[in-house]
Structure 1
Amino acid sequence: MPTPARSRRSAGLLLACALAAAMPAWAGQVEVLHWWTSGGEAKSVAELKRLLAAEGHGWRDFVVAGGGGEGAMSVLRSRVLAGNPPAAAQLKGPAIQEWGRLDVLANLDDVARRQQWDSQLPRVVAEAMKVNGRYVAVPVNVHRINWLWINREALRKVGARAPATWDEFFAVADKMRKAGIVPVAHGGQPWQEFTTFETVALGVGGPDFYRKALVQLDAKALRSETMGQVLETFRRIKGYTDAAAAGREWNAATAMVIRGEAGMQFMGDWAKGEFLAAQKQPNRDFLCVSAPGTARSFIFNIDSFAMFRLKDSAAAQAQQALAATIMSKEFQQVFNLNKGSVPVGTGVDMGKFDLCAQESSAYFVASSMVNALVPSVAHKMALPEKTEAALKDVVAAFWNNDQTSVPEAMDALVKAAQVK
């Protein structure tokens, strides 16, 4: 007859075995730093976990309070330098290159070759995912920044059509103001002001000027006659916003357009989610059109995951599976349907997407063919963080102070471009 102690040990062993049997035996597990925790983004992460689990791999969230801010990056850096990196972290733009220079990122070239990333991705996007010619990150989606959102009833009320040029835009804005409609809904925050500014820069100067001035930070371009026209057009737009714009959140500005209090808004395609949530439909209730002068070009903002070099072979295998799953047509479709963006790779069926997304995808492909894809400065795709912040400060100051002259603003831009 077993003693009580032996019986307890036997029972404990049986319980441990039962728990082990109930838990999935993952081939490998990925730890992922991200801040997609609500709404459609959370649904997309759940789908990514499901697809990964179907291949026998587990997922563990690397949670840092404060989302993707400075705190998250500090924790990530301490983990990486201590030799205990996560498998993946939500990074984008120059941040990928900065981590790459530390020689801590994994090589994804095998996955990229199998899935033919070089042929699926526009060159400018592929290069953003590489360090020293090898893939170290995987893109999830693409947002178009240079949209103009218009309340269709406001347009009907003033007997106008969607503007294609800046002259047409200001003519429509004048009609809306006379009709008692705020012509341009705006949120007075530096990132929103730079979103409008870079859209104007593309619309006035074109993609080559945009790259020289805002990506290469060429002093001659920043002091050019074209930049003068950009600044004058940008300042003129402010005159069509309302006095309460300062500090307003972007979605509150979008709500003004949805309600018909305002006629138009410059904003990326995440604004579409606000219209759809309000049961508004493209073409029936609102229009998504290219900002004036930008129909043949595309300012992009891309979410991506950088992959860190791992010591554990099973975790590294799961990491490779994660990269392949993210670029799969199935996940690209599900994620972007949920988030309001569009697939970054080719060959995804766009039949389930709304009209604005279908147009965005078409613009993305067409712009890539004529070298008219340019990275967003406002959304951290083009410049080091300190340089970007300095430029945003200059643009915000120009927007908010009518006493600053155009030549003074150009000098300030040149000075900000030297901040590293």
Structure 2
Amino acid sequence: MRQDRSASAPRFARRLLALAATVTLATAAQAGDLEVLHYWTSGGEAKAASALKATMQQKGHTWKDFAVAGGGGDAAMTVLKSRVVSGNAPAAAQIKGPSIQEWAREGVLANIDDVAKAEKWDSLLPKAVSDVMKYKGNYVAVPVNVHRVNWLWANPEALKKANAKLPTTWDEFFTTAEALKKAGIIPVAHGGQAWQDFTTFESVALGVGGADFYKKAFVQLDAATLNGATMEKVLTTFKKIKDYTDKNANGRDWNLATAMVIKGEAGMQLMGDWAKGEFVAAGKVPGKDFLCAAAPGTASAYTFNIDSFAMFKVKGDTKAQKDLAAAIMSPDFQEQFSLNKGSIPVRLNMDMSKFDDCAKLSSKDFVETAKTGALVPSIAHGMAVPPAVEGAMKDVVSQFWNSDRMTAKDAMAKLASAAKTK
């Protein structure tokens, strides 16, 4: 499972779309035709996409698969932009986070409120999730699943060898890391890539500052919060983690870092729940061969990353689109897809009996944080802010991680500046 994020329409897409305003933005799709652009091209993702295709075919629709591999969705978004500008949008496309609103502002997304009301989506989804799927109060996209980002993974044998425990606070984390180091085990498996740095940083911010701080800093982009004392503590704590990574971390892919924990070469990893797929694929059993827990200090909070499909305006009968939206939110598909992908269903009333202990904990916390307001969008995975802002802040975080000269205060000033990126 690769890093699960997608790019949105580039900033210049709006200018291109304005130039194409005279072009009909509907496809030439015939009634019952359903062209779906997505980037589910490997493993369990492709298997789940095939199941969705079969469901639509059973309903009498013709599924035209438009899978675009590569770049965690970047390539797919480039293709989507060119298709929409040329007036030939697909019926549905895999888009996520604030990118949904960017496309909706262009007037090219279809209103699917009738399906949402008939299927009672408002009662099945947390408001924090449904808000992402809406534009000006109307549903224009449908959520597929939920990935929890703020996870800590650990090898129990490594902890036992170091006579250390699974940490629940950042103080405990560094105590455990020190014990692992003394036992000759790499304390933290990390891949020195910008998105991995940002994923770790996000969990530290949530654990040190809490959900309200996180929302002010990384959703509202509040300047005072970005420049405040808590942010300085977040950055200091984040940088301290680097002391417990190995010298070969730079450029390492996330799954290779996970493999280090699987083999016992490293004790812990901070990574989203797609890491679980690596453990399971290696024949490991949660609770026995590997441990999963919320990242230190974040047990009562939840950073989410959600796959979703936006529906584009098409000519003719839109029944195929509506059937697709209903199928994606159906309990059967929600269960099957997440069992294949390592995520959890986005519906709140799901039976989790077929899922493993890590997924059950994720689901419990998802439901609870939806009630408390501590269910927050992942900034590291394209759910919280526009892509330009995300990219600028990501660059600052990696610069700070890799620099011996940049102070926490320097990084704070740069983060506040990055938040203003247009």
Q: TM-score, normalised by structure 1?
A: 0.92
Q: 1:374 aligns with which of 367, 373, 376?
A: 376
| Equivalent AA in structure 2 for residue 240 of structure 1 | Y
Tell me, in whole angstroms, the C-alpha distance in 1 between the residues paired with 2:374 and 2:275: 23
Tell me, in whole angstroms, the C-alpha distance in 2 between the residues paired with 1:297 and 1:61: 37
SS at match of 2:353: coil
Tell me, in whole angstroms, the C-alpha distance in 2 between the residues paired with 1:34 and 1:131: 21
The Cα shift of 1:71 comes to: 4.2
Cα 1:406–1:68, aligned 2, differ >3 Å: closer, same or farther?
closer
Q: How does 1:264-303 map to 2 (within 5 A)?
A: 264-303=268-307
Tell me, in whole angstroms, the C-alpha distance in 1 between the residues paired with 2:97 and 2:310: 10
Tell me, in whole angstroms, the C-alpha distance in 2 between the residues paired with 1:151 and 1:65: 32
The Cα shift of 1:74 comes to: 3.2
Deviation per CA, 1:170-207: give whole Å up to 9, x if none: 11111000000000000000000000001000000001
Q: 1:324 aligns with which of 300, 316, 326?
A: 326
Q: How does 1:112-131 map to 2 (within 5 A)?
A: 112-131=116-135
Counterpart residue number, 1:417: 419
Q: What is the count of residue pairs matched by the alignment?
A: 393
SS at match of 2:65: strand
Tell me, in whole angstroms, the C-alpha distance in 2 between the residues paired with 1:131 and 1:174: 48
| Equivalent AA in structure 2 for residue 78 of structure 1 | S
Contact 1:27 1:56 in 2 (8 A): no
| Equivalent AA in structure 2 for residue 148 of structure 1 | L
Higher alpha-carbon deviation: 352-361 or 79-88: 79-88
Contact 2:164 2:180 in 1 (8 A): no
Counterpart residue number, 1:20: none
Tell me, in whole angstroms, the C-alpha distance in 2 between the residues paired with 1:97 and 1:215: 15
Q: Say whether residues 1:249 and 2:253 are aligned partners.
A: yes
Higher alpha-carbon deviation: 250-259 or 56-65: 56-65
Q: How does 1:5-404 map to 2 (within 5 A)?
A: 28-64=32-68, 66=70, 69-313=73-317, 316-404=318-406
Tell me, in whole angstroms, the C-alpha distance in 1 between the residues paired with 2:263 and 2:141: 40
Contact 2:40 2:69 in 1 (8 A): no
Cα 1:252–1:400, aligned 2, differ >3 Å: closer, same or farther?
same
SS at match of 2:50: helix
Structure 2, unaligned runs of 5 or more: 1-29
Contact 2:39 2:73 in 1 (8 A): no
Tell me, in whole angstroms, the C-alpha distance in 2 between the residues paired with 1:72 and 1:125: 23
The Cα shift of 1:65 comes to: 5.7
Counterpart residue number, 2:17: none
Tell me, in whole angstroms, the C-alpha distance in 2 between the residues paired with 1:223 and 1:44: 44
The Cα shift of 1:27 comes to: 6.3
Counterpart residue number, 2:408: 406
Cα 1:343–1:82, aligned 2, differ >3 Å: closer, same or farther?
same
Contact 1:35 1:67 in 2 (8 A): no
Structure 1 stretches of at least 4 aligned residues deviating more than 6 Å after TM superposition: none
Tell me, in whole angstroms, the C-alpha distance in 1 between the residues paired with 2:261 and 2:67: 35
Counterpart residue number, 1:4: none
The Cα shift of 1:73 comes to: 2.4
The Cα shift of 1:70 comes to: 4.4
Of all paired residues, the percent bearing the same amino acid is 62
Contact 2:40 2:67 in 1 (8 A): no
Counterpart residue number, 2:9: none
Cα 1:251–1:125, aligned 2, differ >3 Å: closer, same or farther?
same
Tell me, in whole angstroms, the C-alpha distance in 2 between the residues paired with 1:288 and 1:63: 32
| Equivalent AA in structure 1 for residue 409 of structure 2 | P
SS at match of 1:293: coil
| Equivalent AA in structure 2 for residue 57 of structure 1 | H
The Cα shift of 1:376 comes to: 0.7
SS at match of 1:31: strand
| Equivalent AA in structure 2 for residue 321 of structure 1 | D
Contact 1:33 1:62 in 2 (8 A): yes
Deviation per CA, 1:73-129: give whole Å up to 9, x if none: 233223223332101000000100000001111111111011110000000100000
Cα 1:409–1:67, aligned 2, differ >3 Å: closer, same or farther?
closer
- Aligned Cα root-mean-square deviation (Å): 1.2
Cα 1:189–1:68, aligned 2, differ >3 Å: closer, same or farther?
closer
Deviation per CA, 1:341-370: give whole Å up to 9, x if none: 000012222111111111111110011110
Tell me, in whole angstroms, the C-alpha distance in 1 between the residues paired with 2:217 and 2:259: 33
| Equivalent AA in structure 1 for residue 246 of structure 2 | D
Tell me, in whole angstroms, the C-alpha distance in 2 between the residues paired with 1:283 and 1:388: 34
Structure 1, unaligned runs of 5 or more: 1-25
SS at match of 2:64: strand
